[in-house]
Amino acid sequence: MTSIEIIQTDITTLAVDAIVNAANNTLLGGGGVDGAIHRAAGPQLVQECSALGGCPTGEAKITKGYRLPAKHVIHTVGPVWHGGDKGEPRLLENAYRNCFRVARHHNLTSIAFPAISAGVYGYPMADGAKIALSIASEEAAKGGFERIIFVPFNSQAEKVYRDAAAALGIG
């Protein structure tokens, strides 16, 4: 059985097999959750990332977690929101699905996601949460994961996730 959980916290504190980073195409660090993950992991993370050659939007790449309590970081790049008719939903779906694909490939069973694209990239949080939770529910049905965790960063975001989960009949 997979538990799909919503935990309002700082994602860098979670001791899971992998936390997901909402990175940018360079993978060389940035603001928001990306900055927090790099600060908590320490300088070896950017060193490993710099050998990866960046990451196209919607794809995902894995590194070690270094000083993080998480064993790995799966770096993905969500779309920048341009109003919704520039393929943003498909790109966000790809980002979530590719994180699960990479996690499965490495036999990881617990994974935590921030609200990919919902910060500086401007994706409407409720729409993003619906995509994230729907894909998690599909992945849970396939088996292999013990815990799939969504990590809203404040109480408003937590409510958005809880409402989306309730609407989808999750949790």
User: Which residue numbers are catalytic?
Assistant: 34
- First-to-last alpha carbon distance for the chain, in angstroms, is 13
Are 5 and 30 in contact by the 8 Å Cβ rule? The answer is no
CA distance 32 to 22: 9
Among residues 45, 117, 127, 150, the one that binds ligand ADP under rule CB under 6 A: 117
Residue of 63, 55, 70 whose CA lies nearest to 11: 70
Q: Does 88 participate in binding ligand ADP (rule CB under 6 A)?
A: no
Q: Does 27 participate in binding ligand ADP (rule CB under 6 A)?
A: no
Give me the count of residues in the chain: 171
Q: Does 161 participate in binding ligand ADP (rule CB under 6 A)?
A: no
- Shortest approach of ligand ADP to residue 36 CB, angstroms? 4
Per-residue b or e along 86-117, where b marks 16 or more CB atoms closer than 10 Å to that residue's CB: eebbebbbbbbbbbbebbeeeebebbbbbbbb
CA distance 45 to 66: 7
Site for ligand ADP in 1-20 (CB under 6 A): 10-12
Among residues 7, 28, 36, 52, the one that binds ligand ADP under rule CB under 6 A: 36
Report the residue number, 79 or 102, with the smaller CB distance to ligand ADP: 79
Residues 67-86, mask of contacts with ligand ADP (x by CB under 6 A): -----------x--------
CA distance 38 to 41: 5
Contact region for ligand ADP (CB under 6 A) — 49-57, 111-119, 140-148, 163-171? 111-119
Among residues 55, 73, 115, 129, the one that binds ligand ADP under rule CB under 6 A: 115
- Give residues in contact with ligand ADP (CB under 6 A): 10-12, 22, 32-34, 36, 78, 114-121, 151, 153, 157
